[in-house]
Amino acid sequence: MIGSSCSGKTTLAARLAEALGVPHIELDALHHGPNWQEATAEQLHARVEAALAGLDGWVTDGNYMGKLGTWLIDQADTIVWLDLPLRTLLVRIYRRSRRRMRERVELWHPGNVETWRGIWVLSSYNVRTHHRRRRYWPPRFAGKNVVRLRSSAEADAWLAEQVVSRR
């Protein structure tokens, strides 16, 4: 599952993994250490490799192609790209981060809490990368099985099809 921040990757990946009866591996949890310490490319690769070791099937969510290259997506039989409108993503970033701030949610490790600065950084990052991904990713995925979902309704409908087809 790939897409911009707040596109619904983790939620959809968890639901899909449950429907398929396979593990869900959240790449953010492997990338971010305590106090938002980022894993190096080598550390992240080793952590993902260890998480996938011996699995017959899995669902991951997260991009990290800057650190993993195409190594992970080359192993996937399907790439699900949540490509929601930028305006939707920005509203979701604000709402999700405000809720996490209010509830003092720690993410993955101690010290990983949302801040106003984090909202700004995440929003700015999405603005800078959103349209670039739309140009950059399609050629990178040439020859791969890619499902591109452009709305929450499309994502819900696609997931429902997966559940029905597994019965």
Other beta carbons less than 10 A from residue 76's beta carbon: 17
* Radius of gyration in angstroms for the set of CA atoms belonging to the chain, rounded to a whole number: 16
pLDDT, mean of residues 37-63 = 96
pTM of the model: 0.91
At 12 the three-state DSSP class reads helix
- DSSP E strands in 4-43: the ranges are 24-26
Total structural domains within the chain: 1
Residue 91: predicted pLDDT:
96
Q: Contact at 8 Å (CB) between 126 and 112? A: no
User: pLDDT tens, 101-127?
Assistant: 999 999 999 999 999 999 999 999 999
User: pLDDT tens, 80-94?
Assistant: 999 999 999 999 999
Report the CATH number that the domain containing residue 125 is assigned in CATH.
Answer: 3.40.50.300
Tokens 């429907």, residue located: 19
Which residues span the domain enclosing 32?
A: 2-166
